[in-house]
Structure 1
Amino acid sequence: MTMTGAARRPAYRDALGEPRFRVLFATRTVAIMADTLRMLALSVLVYGRTGSPLLASAAFAAGFLPQVAGGTLAGALADRLRPRPLIAGAYALEAVAALALALLDLPIAAALALVALIACATPVFAGATNRLVAEVLTGDAYVLGRSLMTISAAIAQLLGLACGGIAVAVLGVRGALLAATAAYLAAALLVRLLLPDLPPAPPPASDGGAADGTDGADGGRRRSLVKESWAGTVRLLTDPVVRPLLLAQWLPSAFCAGAESLLVPYAAVRGFGSGTAALLLGCTVGGMLLGNLAAGRLLSPPARERLLVPLMALTGLPLLPLALGVPAPAAAALLLLAGTGLAYELGIQRPFVDALPEDGRGHAFGLLSTGLMTLQGIGPLAVGALAEFVTVGPALAAAGVLILAVTALLRPALRRSVPAP
């Protein structure tokens, strides 16, 4: 993108100055709010009809865990198809699903299956969105653009939860689902009207046609979608540079999600006052927002990459004292500090994009999204199961130990994948 001065460091306004990024940024923010509103309303609906906490939690998980199938077996679509119809169509499909949940008296199993089916498509259009961001923003402007999307996603989730509670109380569950439908339709319409009709990614120079009987790109034919997606997934996961960068984005966030899932019982066990659990959860999100803003505005790109490993360790280290009987203000401060460590992800963004094959960026971003969503669903289950045996405080500390262990194990590979400035 155009820079006003050769020596000036890019700022957030440079990312927002790119019109295509603005469209993707705004519509993804609206869609995340709609996702949160839909999940909350569906969970309330399921619990109200069944009285089952397990099925109510399944209403949340149904939107995440099935993404592993879409990301693994259909991820190549993010590069094969033109992004505008793909992204707009995905939001329209989300709207149809939310409308069906609002208007049709579906059995619980059918409602959860519908959400799970739609979730399979999420990695595909998420991959296409992030591929476009990497194309329209370059250098540090891309890193700051990703930071903005992370920040807006957290804010959108908080607003979705807050507005969702109000919407369910005022409009009822079905009215809240209709509001989510309207938000999805708005996102689809904005993409269709404002995003240029850009081409798909170039086909691979050679897709190994001899292995499966097709001619490859030069012969005008491509592998089947599933074969191409599986081959791309294997290629990414076996790449010695890409693999540690994926794991570094997946694993710490999974254990952080596990720790967050225990904050409500932690506040209860510790005997903190009413509303303290919400404060503790807010400290984690607030720390993440502060860390991203500080790293994005105050640190140079080389400094962010140099601090990647220390910041990753910072996400786990403050969790260790929670095994002890710390008072509520100290717990809040520790969680705020742990949240700031999540800014380590900014140091990964440039090396990650640089390591990706140009013909498979959309697939790679879809795989990244798949791993994040899947492991953030598994992390709370694993840490929660541990808490059943060792109690909540030690389980929170164990999540911190796991983050530190991952940091130590990935450190050599990250040092190779992220060259010293």
Structure 2
Amino acid sequence: MLGLALGGTAVAALGPRRALAVSAVLYIGCALAVRVRLPRLRPGQFGGTSSGVGGDGGAVRASLHSAGVLLRGRTVRRLLLAQWLPPAFVTGAEGLIVAYAGERHFAPGWYAVLMGCLPVGMLVGDLLVGRLLRPRARERLTVPLVALAGLPLIGFAAEPGVAVSSCLLLLSGLGYAYNLGLQRPFLDALPTDGQGQAFGLLGSGSMTLQGVGPVCLGSVAAGIGTGGAIALAGGAVALTAGWILTWRPRTSQALVPN
């Protein structure tokens, strides 16, 4: 949320081209800081494996091998997809909000309100689910929360106005708390010597699919409109909830690697 606010301020002050140039320079500065200031890790440090690692090429091969081993386990693969797919679809829908507001001729100030509704909903959902519910309750609510992340977006098929759109996005953001119910089952399903690689795979896969989602839904929106594309994304999330329901174990103790 703070990043969105700072980004909007930079665009307002500098214009979009200069703001992007400043962002690129800051990324380069961060990369240099990481390279110069952070220590080089030893092979096998923090849960890695030293077998087959000989320089950067060996590290890449070892990483790909570990990812392959993890993805061959059905339980781990399912839990990875369950954490990858809903954010990918919702992020794709979020990428269309500005275009949707433009199609509906909303006043410029409402663009920022709509963009802020999803992260506000995520924050509130995480606080409520994380603080008020016990782990077992969070796990039982995984499927309903995934459905909550998707079903409100289907309402964009009716091309609602600002007020209804804001409420739909807030409700969708609340559903993001479903991830809290998958954290313990995911950890329980991992081999003890592959947890570092698994969480790295989880993060990189999530970022990749959240980049692919807006591209795919943008192409869809060119054909059916932004409201229809957002609704399609919501339907895809709801279908993902149904898929999770078909295999979701009752307790985390039932989760064992295959």
TM-score, normalization: structure 1? 0.52
Aligned partner of 2:106 in structure 1 is 272
Go from structure 1 to structure 2 and tell me whether the alpha carbon gap of 1:321 and 1:231 turns closer, same or farther (over 3 Å shift): same
Greater CA drift, 178-187 or 276-285:
178-187
Contact 1:244 1:414 in 2 (8 A): no
Q: Distance in 1 between matches of 2:10 and 2:28?
A: 13
Aligned partner of 1:111 in structure 2 is none
* Match for residue 329 of structure 1 among 155, 159, 163: 163
Q: After superposition, what is the alpha-carbon deviation per residue over 1:29-50, rounded to whole angstroms, capped at 9, x for unaligned?
A: xxxxxxxxxxxxxxxxxxxxxx
Q: Which structure has the bigger radius of gyration?
A: 1
Residue 232 (structure 1) shift: 1.4
Contact 1:315 1:403 in 2 (8 A): yes
Within 5 A, what are the aligned runs for 1:215-230? 222=52, 224-230=58-64
Greater CA drift, 261-270 or 337-346:
261-270
Q: Does 1:369 align with 2:203?
A: yes
SS of residue in 1 equivalent to 2:45 = coil
Aligned partner of 2:45 in structure 1 is 200
Count of residue pairs brought into register by the alignment: 246
Go from structure 1 to structure 2 and tell me whether the alpha carbon gap of 1:175 and 1:232 turns closer, same or farther (over 3 Å shift): closer
Greater CA drift, 360-369 or 222-231:
222-231
Q: Distance in 1 between matches of 2:9 and 2:69?
A: 42
CA-atom RMSD in angstroms: 3.0
Contact 2:48 2:197 in 1 (8 A): no
Q: Does 1:158 align with 2:7?
A: no
Contact 1:316 1:400 in 2 (8 A): yes
SS of residue in 1 equivalent to 2:52 = coil
Aligned partner of 1:293 in structure 2 is 127
Contact 1:164 1:176 in 2 (8 A): no
Contact 1:167 1:176 in 2 (8 A): no
Contact 1:253 1:376 in 2 (8 A): yes
Q: Distance in 2 between matches of 1:249 and 1:241?
A: 13
Residue 200 (structure 1) shift: 1.4
Q: Which amino acid aligns with 2:125?
A: G
Q: Distance in 2 between matches of 1:248 and 1:287?
A: 20
Q: After superposition, what is the alpha-carbon deviation per residue over 1:30-88, rounded to whole angstroms, capped at 9, x for unaligned?
A: xxxxxxxxxxxxxxxxxxxxxxxxxxxxxxxxxxxxxxxxxxxxxxxxxxxxxxxxxxx
Which ranges of structure 1 fall in alignment gaps of 5 or more residues? 1-154, 205-216
Aligned partner of 1:310 in structure 2 is 144
Aligned partner of 1:340 in structure 2 is 174
Contact 1:241 1:413 in 2 (8 A): no
Residue 249 (structure 1) shift: 0.8
Residue 181 (structure 1) shift: 5.6
Identity among equivalent positions (%) equals: 42
Go from structure 1 to structure 2 and tell me whether the alpha carbon gap of 1:240 and 1:305 turns closer, same or farther (over 3 Å shift): same
Q: Distance in 2 between matches of 1:366 and 1:331?
A: 35
SS of residue in 1 equivalent to 2:182 = helix
SS of residue in 2 equivalent to 1:326 = coil
TM-score, normalization: structure 2? 0.82
Aligned partner of 1:241 in structure 2 is 75
Which ranges of structure 2 fall in alignment gaps of 5 or more residues? none
Aligned partner of 1:36 in structure 2 is none
Residue 177 (structure 1) shift: 5.4
Q: Distance in 2 between matches of 1:395 and 1:365?
A: 31
Contact 2:86 2:237 in 1 (8 A): yes
Q: Distance in 2 between matches of 1:293 and 1:188?
A: 35
